Amino acid sequence: MSGRVNLLVPEVRANPYPTYAELRRSPVCQVDPGGYWVLTRHDDVVAAFKNPAVFSNTGMRMVTKPAWLGHNPFADSMIGMDPPNHTRLRTLVNRAFGPPVLARLESRIRGFAGAIVDRIPEGTAVDFVDAFCLPLPASVIGELIGLDPAQHHLYKRWADDLTSITSIPPGTAESPRMAEIRATVKETEHFMGRVLANRRVEPRDDLVTDLINARVDGEQLSDAELMNFMFLLLVAGLETTIHLLSHAMRVLMEHPDLVERLRANRAQIPRFLEEVLRYEPPVQAIMRVTTADTEIRGVTIPKGSPVALMMGAANRDETHFPDAETFNMDREGMNNLPFGHGVHFCLGAPLARLEAKLGLEALLTRFARFTSAGPMEWNRSMTVRGPVKMPVVAHAK
């Protein structure tokens, strides 16, 4: 391939898949902005996920805590660590984040989904991101980290600001946007600090209280580790699930037959969602940094290089998914990679699947058809992909 591909230009954001197909033909190369290395074949991405000694998660920390930001609890959370530091934290939070959390949340999520769907007007164009895809996961995250679900626009802004750190290329001059992001970090810390202080005085039957009380072999989470984990939940759990819901809606608009099929058989919703997660993974790339020179397919990536593991490209790799560019919910033996792989495998995957299933159940109970009411506007990020605006009309018949 001649010249570097720029993954952030609008044409690529609107549809990155032809570019990914091109990248899979030179599967170990550098892209713009920033000159990051990318791996795009399924086998290479999985091998890198399985090898944290060489593909270190401190790469995540490196790109989410640039010098202009200085302080970012998300970057200091376990997602920016390797074993054994990561193992200690993951063991502690696993205790508080196990199956009982889902059981405790299920009826709340069903309630949120029903109320949100009831508010969507029938036969009138709405921005579906605002009307459905955002409020559902935002209400769930609010519940998890002890914030008022009614304030969800506030923490959507925090999550947007925190995820946009990676779209500011290294070496960019100081700008008002940077000052805004620094202010967001402070504001988020202030709100979350109040929740933590409150739960220490008045414990509740909730995740924050469970995290404060979590103990493994006499160890517990420090105040800073609790704050870092709350930032991680906000960033990891909000934008991702919003995009899963919006991608699901787009597929339903493009394939009205699937709406009928799922309405007739709700048990197929999880299978449908698995294919949405392959076809349009909300997380398109996960960052690592190499701890040694490493050779892949005859190309040497030097030690200390940021490397993006491109799940968006790996999920369309023909060698793993025949007819990969086609949406087909009847695929057998799905080995998609939307939630990563290995020691950092997404802690919230069962929760995200549950939210999306209950959300779609509520939508398909009330509506029989969805049509597009105008062009979508895409976000601008190296790592997560989804629309920021999605005009849709929902029809009862």
- Residue among 192, 232, 258, 269 that touches ligand HEM (CB under 6 A): 232
Q: Which of residues 134-173 bind ligand HEM (CB under 6 A)?
A: 144
DSSP 233-250: HHHHHSHHHHHHHHHHHH
The one-letter amino acid at 289: V
Instruction: State how far the Cα of 271 lies from the Cα of 331, in Å rounded to an integer.
Output: 9
Instruction: State how far the Cα of 86 lies from the Cα of 231, in Å rounded to an integer.
Output: 16
Q: Which of residues 5-44 bind ligand HEM (CB under 6 A)?
A: none
Is the CB of 120 or the CB of 273 nearer to ligand HEM?
Answer: 273
Is the CB of 168 or the CB of 248 nearer to ligand HEM?
Answer: 248
Is the CB of 280 or the CB of 393 nearer to ligand HEM?
Answer: 280
- Residue among 240, 294, 379, 381 that touches ligand HEM (CB under 6 A): 240
If binding is defined by CB under 6 A, does position 236 make contact with ligand HEM? yes
Is the CB of 120 or the CB of 242 nearer to ligand HEM?
Answer: 242
Size of the site for ligand HEM (CB under 6 A): 25
Chain residue at closest Cβ approach to ligand HEM? 348
User: Considering the complex, what minimum distance in angstroms separates the CB of residue 340 from ligand HEM?
Assistant: 3
Instruction: State how far the Cα of 356 lies from the Cα of 133, in Å rounded to an integer.
Output: 9
Is the CB of 34 or the CB of 59 nearer to ligand HEM?
Answer: 59
If binding is defined by CB under 6 A, does position 241 make contact with ligand HEM? yes
Residue of 208, 97, 105 lying closest to 147 (CA atoms):
208
User: Considering the complex, what minimum distance in angstroms separates the CB of residue 37 from ligand HEM?
Assistant: 16
Residue of 340, 137, 157 lying closest to 238 (CA atoms):
137
What the block records as the tokens of 104 is 């405790």
CA separation, residue 202 to residues 188, 196, 231, 261, 268 (Å): 21, 10, 21, 48, 42
Q: Which of residues 76-135 bind ligand HEM (CB under 6 A)?
A: 78-79, 90
Instruction: State how far the Cα of 8 lies from the Cα of 300, in Å rounded to an integer.
Output: 25
Q: How many CA atoms lie within 13 A of 334 on its CB side?
A: 19
User: Considering the complex, what minimum distance in angstroms separates the CB of residue 102 from ligand HEM?
Assistant: 11
Letter string b/e over residues 305-324, b meaning 16 or more CB atoms within 10 A of that residue's CB? bbbbbbbbbbbbbeebbeeb
Stated as kind and residue range, the H or E segment containing 155 is helix 152-163
User: Considering the complex, what minimum distance in angstroms separates the CB of residue 387 from ligand HEM?
Assistant: 15
Stretch that binds ligand HEM, among 111-119, 168-176, 317-325, 339-347 (CB under 6 A): 339-347
Q: Which of residues 185-214 bind ligand HEM (CB under 6 A)?
A: none
- Residue among 39, 248, 347, 363 that touches ligand HEM (CB under 6 A): 347
Instruction: State how far the Cα of 49 lies from the Cα of 44, in Å rounded to an integer.
Output: 9
DSSP 254-268: H-HHHHHHHHH-GGG
If binding is defined by CB under 6 A, does position 344 make contact with ligand HEM? yes
Stretch that binds ligand HEM, among 6-14, 99-107, 239-247, 297-305 (CB under 6 A): 239-247
If binding is defined by CB under 6 A, does position 282 make contact with ligand HEM? yes
> Which residues are near ligand HEM by CB under 6 A?
57, 60, 78-79, 90, 144, 232-233, 236-237, 240-241, 244, 282-283, 286, 338-340, 344, 346-348, 351-352
